[in-house]
Amino acid sequence: MRALLPLLLAALLLALPARANEEIVLGLSQAEVSITTNFNGSEILVYGAVKRDQPIPDGPELQVVMTVSGPSEPVIVRRKEKRFGIWVNTEAVEVDRAPSYYAVVTSAPMADVLKRTEDLRHKVSIPRAIRSVGAPMEIADAASFTQALIRIRKAAEQYQVIEGGVTVDEQTLFRAAVRLPAALTEGAYDTRIFLTRSGNVVAQYETIIDVRKVGLERWLFTLSRENAFLYGLMSLAIAIAAGWGASAIFSVFRR
């Protein structure tokens, strides 16, 4: 322990100047997304500036990486195989945590803005954002299940990688746009911004975009959970009333 302390201090001292040097000041076009009845996706504009107390350092240019992540849930990925002439679900792998929505927006190609080690540490790219630990022993190619999850969600635009989506001006100002799809789950959307130089993270900032149902959507959702019996009766009453109403209207037309 004693021997470690100076080492830690030294590491801190080394890390400190880089951190203190450049800092992120951020603005969002909206800090919360309200899901209303006519909600059809939303575009969030993120704009920011780099605050520094020294002139812009020489060397590689400043790059920006942004991630927006929806609430994580476990997901079961199943694979079909042909058995007795028909396609049946055979093997299944449970992915422990996969965000319902995930977007990575960068100012240049991913390989140029972030080193693999930094990606591992901060869990930036899509495969890193998904956590899959326990695949059953009998499944040899567990990785293909995670890849399938990413492929399916990418096709549904739930997972996005937008390389070059962040515009950086004079290594100081940056802006990016993220499109949230129409099929959105409620929750806190974790938004992270990383400043990098030659693939190393030099500064980082985190904020939350709140996605909430409002108005009628909120009311119906709450009722269906908290007063399920009443909600069921209401659904039936509406169904019966609509059925009767249509019948009555049509018999008027016939006369």
Partner 1 sequence: MQIYLPIAEVSVNAFLLLGLGGLVGVLSGMFGVGGGFLMTPLLFFIGIPPAVAVATEANQIVASSFSGVLAHFKRRTVDLRMGTVLLIGGLIGAALGVMVFNYLKAQGQVDLLVKLCYVVFLGVIGGLMFFESLKAIRNTKRGKPPARKKHNWIHGLPFKMRFRVSGLYISVIPPVIVGIAVGILAAIMGVGGGFIMVPAMIYLLGMPTKVVVGTSLFQIIFVTAFTTMLHATTNYTVDIVLAVLLLVGGVIGAQIGTRIGVKMKAEQLRILLALMVLAVCGKLALDLLLQPSEVFSLGAAGGH
The residues pairing with 34 across neighbouring beta strands, listed in sequence order, are 212
Q: Return the number of the residue (197 or 213) whose C-beta is nearest partner 1.
A: 213
Residue 238: HSE in the Cβ half-sphere, 13 Å Cα cutoff:
6
- To partner 1, the closest distance from the beta carbon of 42 in angstroms equals 11
- To partner 1, the closest distance from the beta carbon of 217 in angstroms equals 4
Q: How many CB atoms lie within 10 A of CB 42?
A: 18
Q: Return the number of the residue (2 or 82) whose C-beta is nearest partner 1.
A: 82
- To partner 1, the closest distance from the beta carbon of 219 in angstroms equals 9
- To partner 1, the closest distance from the beta carbon of 44 in angstroms equals 17
Q: Return the number of the residue (48 or 70) whose C-beta is nearest partner 1.
A: 70
Q: Return the number of the residue (116 or 151) whose C-beta is nearest partner 1.
A: 151
Q: List, in sequence order, the alpha helices (H) in 67-166.
A: 110-113, 116-122, 126-129, 142-155
- To partner 1, the closest distance from the beta carbon of 45 in angstroms equals 21
Which residues bind to partner 1, rule: CB under 8 A?
35-41, 73-82, 85-89, 92, 94-95, 145, 148-149, 151-153, 182-186, 213, 216-218, 220-221, 224-225, 228-229, 231-236, 238-240, 242-247, 250-251
- To partner 1, the closest distance from the beta carbon of 129 in angstroms equals 16
The residues pairing with 63 across neighbouring beta strands, listed in sequence order, are 196
Q: Return the number of the residue (12 or 239) whose C-beta is nearest partner 1.
A: 239
Q: Return the number of the residue (51 or 151) whose C-beta is nearest partner 1.
A: 151
DSSP sequence for 157-212: TSEEEEET-EEEETTTEEEEEEEEPSS---EEEEEEEEEEETTEEEEEEEEEEEEE
